[in-house]
Amino acid sequence: AGRHIVCNALAVLLAVKLAGEDIHKAAKALATQEAIIGRGKREYLDIGERKNPVTLIDESYNANPASMAAALNVLAMHSPTGKGRRVAVLGDMLELGKSSNKLHKELAESIRAAKIDRVWLAGKEILPLADDLSKKEFAGYFENAKAMEEALVNDLLPGDVVMFKASLGIKFGPLVEAVKKQLAGN
């Protein structure tokens, strides 16, 4: 899912064509590709309503302003089921220097465009974004991913679509695994 993935796939097909190789074979190979852990992998977890699983989108490997906007667009493409919501779990985009506050705050625009219902935040750099979220959008803030785990799990509803996105140093990978483990135990 995602326009950025489509653009990359088209670039691959163009390169195959320019190299004089079999574009149909390349297209078939691309069709079998699946997202991997930390790079868009989706999982569906039944937490009591089989018709309304929680969808987890794991974009936890890394983050920068462009990839964060792309991930929010992917979240917008997913429709919650039942009483579910679009939930963004966002952490710091590291190494942005003096532009960090500004670039984190600018995420509010992408969040609204993607019609995100709930936003969870973790990390010191992303905190300025909280000021630009409405009370309805803002779900909570924690200094680190581990501290967020219990509150996030307790907030999730059947049918929610939850996307995790942060720089690798924020350790959202272990958060995704912990949330999956806790939801599987429910």
Residues of the chain with pLDDT under 70: 1-5, 7, 32, 36, 38-39, 186
Report residue 57 CA to chain centroid gap: 5
Question: Which two three-digit tokens encode residue 84?
Answer: 């579910």
pLDDT tens digits along 141-178: 999 999 999 999 999 999 999 999 999 899 999 999 99
Q: Are the C-beta atoms of residues 93 and 64 closer than 8 Å to each other? A: yes
**CA atoms 153, 157, 159, 163: torsion sign:** negative
- pTM for this model (two decimals): 0.85
Report residue 12 CA to chain centroid gap: 24
